[in-house]
Homo-oligomer: A and B are copies of this chain.
């Protein structure tokens, strides 16, 4: 039989990955069986194993794609002229537009990274990229005099990471997560941290009681 065209191959792979993501999100990596995924993708086990050599490989594939996507979006942040606005739209995407189960996927990948070296490597590489991006960004902002010049860039980056992680966790984990209240409050915190209202003063008024009424 003639080899499938590379495009078809790639499409098939993505299709399987989509199905797997669905199933994994629905029931978690370990509760989800290969049969579930085959059914979801309308593909036979034999076919699936042509594209992914094992369940681990499938998980790694999911992690790869998920993290690559995140890295791509995150990369824009550092290049952005209006950082706060960029953060805001990142937040909109991950914590409002995308369904919660996608964030649960993120969390699940992070946990898997802890025990599965292959996933660990993928996860850590993106994490380190984010750290480095933050640091570069703050260094730049500092050099440009746009944030408090006394700030410690490394520490600031760590705090940003913690806040980002916390948001992912909340969004993934708390069915009552209230984006409308939490995200603006977090944004204001960030502005405070940076020491100035920055680029979007009109969008981020001080965090005071009368304005935060939901």
Instruction: Give me the interface of A with B, judged by CB distance under 8 Å.
Output: 27-31, 104, 107-108, 110-111, 113-115, 127, 150-156, 158-159, 161-170, 172-174, 178, 181-182, 184-186, 189, 192-193, 206-214
Contacts and interface: CB of A to CB of B under 8 A. Distances in A.
Contact of A182 (B113, B159, B185, B192): B159
Contacts of A153: 209
B115 A111 contact: no
A152 B207 contact: yes
Contact of A169 (B169, B174, B189, B213): B169
B207 A155 contact: yes
Contact of A212 (B155, B164, B184): B155
A211 B167 CA distance: 28
A111 B24 CA distance: 12
Given A27-B115, A114-B104, A193 B189 contact: yes
Given A28-B111, A114-B104, A189-B193, A161 B151 contact: no
Contact of A150 (B104, B159, B182, B208): B208
B170 A154 contact: no
A206 B115 contact: no
A185 B158 contact: yes
8 contacts: A104-B111, A107-B110, A111-B173, A151-B207, A154-B214, A155-B182, A158-B178, A159-B185
Contacts of A164: 166
Contacts of A210: 150
Contacts of A212: 152, 154-155
A167 B193 CA distance: 17
Among A30, A155, A185, A192, max chain B CB count under 10 A is at A155
A127 B175 CA distance: 12
A28 B154 CA distance: 32
A164 B162 CA distance: 8
Which of A164, A172, A174 lies at the interface centre, i.e. has the most chain B CB atoms within 10 A of its CB? A174
Contacts of A113: 173
A31 to B, nearest CB: 7
